[in-house]
C-alpha cells in the first residue's frame, strides 16, 4: 500500500497531547475491519513513538509516517 491510497478513516489528533492521540487511535482502529487503514494526524512530539509501539504490540502495521511540517501523518493498517 502506498501513502496515496485513501484511508478508511481519519483521526485528527492535532492539538491533543499524550496520551489522548493514542487513546483515540486505539478506539478508531478498533472500529475498522482487518486490513483497513487508519490515517492519524498528530502534532504531539510523543505520537510517533506511542503509535509505533501501540501498533507493534496490537498486531497492526505502520504503513507510513510522513512529516507534514507542523504535524505528522500516520497510516496504520489494522491487523487481524
Considering the candidates 14, 16, 18, 32, report the single residue annotated as catalytic: 18
Q: Determine whether 38 is an active site residue.
A: no
Residue 22 three-state SS? helix
The burial class, CB within 10 Å (0-12 / 13-18 / 19+), for 59 is exposed
Beta bridge partners, 66, equal 73
Which letter does DSSP use for residue 56 in this model?
H
Cα 48 to Cα 31: distance, rounded to the nearest angstrom: 21
By annotation, the residues acting in catalysis are 18
Amino acid at each position: 500500500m502506498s501513502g496515496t491510497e485513501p484511508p478508511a478513516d481519519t483521526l485528527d489528533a492535532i492539538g491533543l497531547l499524550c496520551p489522548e492521540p493514542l487513546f483515540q487511535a486505539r478506539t478508531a482502529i478498533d472500529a475498522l475491519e482487518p486490513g483497513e487503514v487508519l490515517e492519524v494526524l498528530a502534532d504531539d512530539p510523543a505520537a510517533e513513538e506511542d503509535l509505533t509501539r501501540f501498533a507493534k504490540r496490537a498486531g497492526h502495521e505502520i504503513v507510513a509516517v510522513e512529516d507534514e511540517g507542523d504535524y505528522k501523518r500516520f497510516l496504520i493498517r489494522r491487523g487481524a
